[in-house]
Every structure is written in C-alpha cells, then in structure tokens.
Amino acid sequence: MKVKRITAANMQQALRQVTQELGSDAVILSSKKVDQGFEVVAATDYQSGDAEAQAEVERQLTLQRELEQTRRQLQPEASERAEAQVPPQQKAREQKVREQFAQPSAPDSGELRRMSGELKELKNWLVSHQGSPWDQERPMTWQQSQLWQRCQDVGLEPAWSDRLVSRLQPADNLDDSWRQALQLMEQDLPVANLPWLEQGGRYALLGPTGAGKTTTIGKMAAQFVIRHGAESVALITLDNYRIAAHDQLKTFAKILGVRWLRAPQDGTLPELLKKVAKAKLVLIDSAGLASQDPHFTEQLSMLKDCGNAVKKLLVLPLTSQGRCLQENYEHFKSAALHGCIFTKLDECFCLGPAMSIAALARLPLTLVTDGPHIPDDLHMPEASKLVRLAEQMARMARTRWPVPEAAYAALR
C-alpha cells in the first residue's frame, strides 16, 4: 500500500494530482480545508476496515510529515523558525543527516588496504589470462584468449592456434568468433584428393611401426582390383629387415591375385618399377623402423632414389600423441613427402595434433582410414567433416571431465 498527502489550491487540483501521482485506482481516505487550500489523503491498494491498513496509513503519514519538516529544516531561511517546533528526538536525527551530508564517511585504512589488495588480485588475474604463453610480445584480448583455449581443447598446436586467433575479425560474442575460427581451421587444413582410384599411380607408404601402412595398402589394392581388375595392380615390399615381415603383404597379394615383389631380393627399386611398368597402380610398403635403426636411412634413401616417380605418403596414426606425430614427421620429411594419410580415426579421441601437422607443414591429407576392415575402411578426406569431428571430440572430452572432478572434490 502507498499513502500520499496532497495539498492544492482547490479540491479539483488536489484530485487531479492524486490521479497523476497514485493512478486512477487511488482511494481518498480524508480531505480537509487548510490555510493553503485543500489537503487530501489518498492511498493505492487500500482495503477498508483493515486495522493493519489503517496503521500503515498512519505510519506513512507520520513519516511524510517528518520528512517535510526535515526538508524545511534543511532550508536555511526557514531553519530558525522551524527549529523551535522540532521535538528533541527528531533534532538528533536531523543532526545525523546533516553530518552525513557534510562529511561523507571515508573508509578506514584497513578497508582501503583490503580493497587495494583485491584490485591487485583482479589485475593479476586479468594479466595471467591474457596473451599466449608462446608469444609474450603479442597481447590478446579476453575473447582471443578464450578462443585460444578452445583451440587447445581441440588439440591444436599452439603455433597454429596463434595463427588462427590473430586472423579472427572481432565479433560480438564468443560463439560467433569460434565459428569463424572453425572456418579458418577448415581453410588451413590442406586436403588433396589424389586420383589414385581412377588413374592409378606409384605410391609408397612410410610411417612409424604399427601405423597401418600394410593394412592401408591392402585396402587401396582391393578397391582398385574391384574397379580395374587384378592385373592392373602390383605390390612391392621394402620390408625385409624383420623376420616374416613381408608375409602380411604377400598374403594380401595372394588373396587379391596381384603381383608381389621384394626389394632388394628381386632387384633394386628402380628395376622393380620397370618390371611392373604395365600395372596401373603400384603400391610400395615399407618397414616401420625407429629413426635410430641403421636400416631406417637405407630404406629412406631407396625411396629418395626414385624421385618424383613415386609419391611418398606419410601414414600418421591418429591414436599417437601429438609429440610422437611431430617427431615422425621430422624423421620422414627428408623423403620429400607428397602428402599424408590419417589412420585409426575410429580409435581416436583428439584430432587436433595430426591436423596441426598437416596444416603447419602444408602436407596435404590424401586418405583417412577408420577401421581395420579391407577394403571398406578407407575414405577420401573432407576438411569440413574433420574439423567438425575434431570440435565434437573436444566437447565430448569437456563434458566427461567434470565427473571425476566432482568425485575428487567429494573426497576432500
């Protein structure tokens, strides 16, 4: 309930003022003639007969009266006149009000110290959340640092994250900027759809142990045989360093009914390539050797000798750690790589590290495998699909983490 006492020159004016100030639903509680004209007491949300409402009316009127008196007291010309009429309790209240206006209270030094400490903490927090730790020279805005963090969640290399974030146009909100970042990611990821399935060619697959080189060759050969016939394919293995290593490829060749040769037992690689000159598709398998292995350089130089006649594709298993993939790239890049193949997409939970290698080294992605089955689990890559998948994996990882965190918090 709201109560108001209104004084006007005549009753009409008083009623108009009531409607203006309290609305058309206001109820007139009393009216009387006074020296200045008419005084009207009106209320909104008033329920007659209610003792509590009546008491509330009295309380509000008393307060209004006191307020008016205080206002008059604060006017210098009227202060002396009114002083005599003010009761002692009210005088004390007025005194307090005056003191407060005259001397705004200053926080004590302890309070100041606390506030300045909090400001310092806030400043440090802001500074610590700005900028890439990899590039101290280039400060980032809050939005950029949030986007940079999202790139990390996707598993991107800091160098690529830096490049992406610095190219973004400022946007009104984080999600719009993130959409922009995903588009740039897609543009940065080089994809080359080699015409191997239509036209054939000479390809050698290199990469770390167990990456899926031989299995991928089996898939490629099988798909090609289905389309062009067994006589159009030849398989060559360089893997004669490990006991029975070439058995796997030999078995594939037998099942598919295609020609199979070994280097150097059946001749040097250039000689073997001449022997299978009629085959439309020639696939060369290599042994997964550690870079410290003495045969590693030997095998690599055999491939280098073929020059551009053989396209070398680096097989990167998506299940490997980012740092391992980087090292693999460093070891094999001297073979003059034409592109890369991502394997084991079906077992992978973070695509960013392999995508970073392709993007930063400008090494086109040529094929993706997503299972061990021959010939089905081999596909042409699409940058947009891979980027979307990479983001989904990051989101999935984020939603999984809070559970163990909560469980951990409960133990403390």
Residues 182-221 touching Mg ion, rule: CB under 5 A, are 213-214
Residue 127 CB, shortest distance to ligand GTP, in Å, is: 45
Residue 283 CB, shortest distance to ligand GTP, in Å, is: 12
Nearer to Mg ion, 213 or 312 (CB): 213
Q: Which residues pair with 281 in a beta bridge?
A: 201, 233
Q: Cα(205)–Cα(118) distance, rounded to whole angstroms? A: 59
Nearer to Mg ion, 44 or 248 (CB): 248
Select from 150, 202, 213, 280 the one that contacts ligand GTP (CB under 6 A).
213
Stretch that binds ligand GTP, among 93-101, 205-213, 225-233, 255-263 (CB under 6 A): 205-213
Q: Dihedral, CA atoms, 30, 36, 37, 42, nearest 10 degrees? A: -30
Q: Cα(317)–Cα(207) distance, rounded to whole angstroms? A: 9
**Strand 365-369 relative to strand 378-379, pairing:** antiparallel
Give how far the C-alpha of residue 387 lies from the chain's centroid of Cα atoms, to the nearest Å. 12
The count of other CB atoms within 10 Å of the CB of residue 197 is 18
Residue 45 site contact among Mg ion, ligand GTP, none (CB < 5 to 8 Å, cut-off depends on kind): none
Q: Write the burial class of residue 34 (CB in 10 Å: 0-12 exposed, 13-18 middle, 19+ buried).
A: exposed
- The backbone torsions φ and ψ at residue 308, rounded to the nearest 5 degrees and listed phi first, read -80, -5
Residue 319 site contact among ligand GTP, Mg ion, none (CB < 5 to 8 Å, cut-off depends on kind): none
Nearer to Mg ion, 221 or 393 (CB): 221
Nearer to ligand GTP, 116 or 209 (CB): 209
Residue 372 within binding range of ligand GTP, rule CB under 6 A: yes
Q: What is the largest CA-CA distance in the chain?
A: 127
Stretch that binds ligand GTP, among 20-28, 44-52, 295-303, 370-378 (CB under 6 A): 370-378
Q: Cα(351)–Cα(156) distance, rounded to whole angstroms? A: 8
Site map (CB under 6 A) of ligand GTP, residues 344-363, x = contact: x-xx----------------
Taking alpha carbons only, the member of 135, 192, 198, 129 closest to residue 161 is 135
Residue 346 site contact among Mg ion, ligand GTP, none (CB < 5 to 8 Å, cut-off depends on kind): ligand GTP
Number of residues that bind Mg ion (CB under 5 A): 2
Residue 211 within binding range of ligand GTP, rule CB under 6 A: yes
Residue 344 site contact among Mg ion, ligand GTP, none (CB < 5 to 8 Å, cut-off depends on kind): ligand GTP
**Helix-strand-coil split of the chain, %, nearest 5:** 55, 15, 30
Cα Rg of the chain (Å, integer): 41
Taking alpha carbons only, the member of 324, 329, 366, 369 closest to residue 348 is 369
| Contact (CB, 8 A) for 397 and 348 | no
Nearer to ligand GTP, 19 or 209 (CB): 209
* Torsion 377-378-379-384 (CA) sign: positive
Nearer to Mg ion, 214 or 319 (CB): 214
Site map (CB under 5 A) of Mg ion, residues 131-170, x = contact: ----------------------------------------
Residue 377 within binding range of ligand GTP, rule CB under 6 A: yes
Residue 155 CB, shortest distance to ligand GTP, in Å, is: 19
Contacts of 320 (CB under 8 A, 6+ apart): 208, 328, 353
Nearer to Mg ion, 288 or 352 (CB): 288
Nearer to ligand GTP, 114 or 254 (CB): 254
Q: Write the burial class of residue 39 (CB in 10 Å: 0-12 exposed, 13-18 middle, 19+ buried).
A: middle
Site map (CB under 6 A) of ligand GTP, residues 95-124, x = contact: ------------------------------
Select from 171, 371, 389, 397 the one that contacts ligand GTP (CB under 6 A).
371
Look up residue 310 and give its DSSP letter.
S
Chain contacts with ligand GTP (rule: CB under 6 A): 207, 209-215, 287-288, 343-344, 346-347, 369-372, 377
